[in-house]
């Protein structure tokens, strides 16, 4: 498979139409259709379901779509690094992580780099620990930010000096809002919204004193803002980290910490024996100075 074929394939998948993709790519429709047929022959699997109005992906097509995006992203990242002038500090730094107020120290390091080297650009990818680890392993990001209990031992890493507190985000008019802290028993009969970057099944089970299957988990999410909208509408109580959603006195929502207390440390990690571009080396140095 050539990069051109993968770019064409991604365009067809996104447009769900050979004609629209051909127009976007500035190629003829017969040529693009032939390229996709050749790609299907090459992989030995049907990639598209060709309907009367739109084209959808088969299971094999969805797998290739994910891999093709990763391959193109890695190619673009490598090309950018190789094309950066050796005498000029510039380039792109890719960082992935979950939502946490502790990321502010990463922002401070990024700001310090950009003040000195304005041609350095930062790209932030949000996701749960599993997704971040996968992208880090494949070289799609330079650094990953992980929240305990994720095991970072296979990476080189720095522990950030800030910690996150676990608790419950709820409506201010909820009966539990009158409490100073939330115990496991308080939540046993409540509808729960669980973050996908949450405590992990073992820690969750230990704190709740019940398995996840015994709890009433009505929704999950990986972006707390979206989860907070569910909370606001009364869908349930979100088990999450503090200081991400504003819960001041003017907010309809409030946050109460868990008891027994649960605290998570954060680590910024990178692959062992990683060869960084110069801009990423400088960022890591500035981060170490801040720490």
Mean per-residue pLDDT, 260-268:
91
Kindly tell me the sign of the dihedral angle through the C-alpha atoms of 17, 19, 23, 26: positive
- Given a cut of 70, whether residue 197 has pLDDT beyond it is no
* Residues whose CB is less than 8 angstroms from the CB of residue 165 and which lie 6 or more positions away in sequence, other chains included: 241, 242, 243, 257, 261, 262, 263
Do 194 and 217 form a contact (C-beta atoms < 8 A)?
yes
Distance CA 55, CA 52 (A): 8
pLDDT of residue 201: 54
Cα dihedral 174→179→182→186 (10° resolution): -60
Distance CA 242, CA 109 (A): 22
At residue 198 the predicted structure's pLDDT band, cuts being 50, 70 and 90, is: low
Structure tokens given for 175 = 């009966």
Distance CA 148, CA 203 (A): 10
pLDDT by residue (tens digit) across 29-86? 999 999 999 999 999 999 999 888 889 999 999 999 988 988 888 888 787 767 766 5
The closest of 116, 139, 157 to 267, measured between CA atoms, is 157
pLDDT of residue 98: 84
Whole-structure pTM value = 0.70
pLDDT by residue (tens digit) across 158-180? 999 888 899 999 999 999 999 99
Residue 163 is given by DSSP the state E
The closest of 18, 44, 96, 63 to 270, measured between CA atoms, is 96
pLDDT by residue (tens digit) across 142-159? 999 998 888 899 999 999
Which neighbouring-strand residues pair with 237?
192
pLDDT of residue 78: 80
Helix (H, G, I), strand (E, B) or coil at 270: strand
Instruction: Please count the helices (runs of H) and the strands (runs of E) in the chain.
Output: 10, 11
Mean per-residue pLDDT, 94-122:
92
């Amino acid at each position: 498979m050539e990069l051109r074929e993968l770019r064409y394939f991604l365009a067809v998948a996104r447009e769900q139409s050979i004609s629209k993709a051909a127009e976007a790519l500035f190629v003829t429709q017969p040529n693009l259709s032939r390229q996709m047929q050749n790609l299907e022959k090459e992989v030995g699997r049907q990639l598209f379901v060709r309907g009367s109005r739109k084209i959808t992906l088969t299971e094999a097509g969805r797998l290739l779509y994910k891999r093709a995006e990763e391959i193109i992203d890695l190619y673009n990242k490598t090309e950018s690094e190789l094309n950066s002038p050796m005498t000029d500090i510039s380039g792109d730094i890719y960082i992935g992580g979950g939502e946490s107020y502790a990321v502010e120290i990463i922002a401070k390091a990024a700001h310090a780099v950009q003040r000195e080297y304005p041609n350095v650009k930062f790209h932030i990818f949000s996701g749960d620990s599993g997704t971040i680890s996968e992208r880090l392993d494949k070289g799609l990001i330079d650094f990953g930010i992980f929240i305990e209990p994720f095991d970072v031992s296979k990476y080189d890493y720095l522990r950030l000096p800030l910690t996150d507190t676990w608790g419950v985000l709820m409506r201010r008019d909820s009966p539990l809002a009158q409490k100073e802290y939330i115990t496991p028993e308080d939540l046993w009969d409540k509808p729960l919204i669980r973050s996908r970057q949450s405590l992990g099944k073992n820690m969750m089970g230990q704190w709740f004193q019940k398995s996840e299957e015994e709890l009433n988990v009505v929704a999950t999410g990986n972006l707390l803002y979206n989860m907070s909208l569910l909370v606001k509408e009364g869908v349930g109580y979100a088990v999450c980290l503090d200081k991400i959603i504003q819960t001041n006195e003017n907010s309809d929502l409030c946050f109460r910490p868990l008891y027994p207390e649960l605290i998570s440390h954060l680590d910024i990690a990178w692959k062992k024996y990683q060869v960084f571009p110069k801009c990423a080396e400088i960022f890591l140095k500035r981060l170490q100075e801040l720490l």
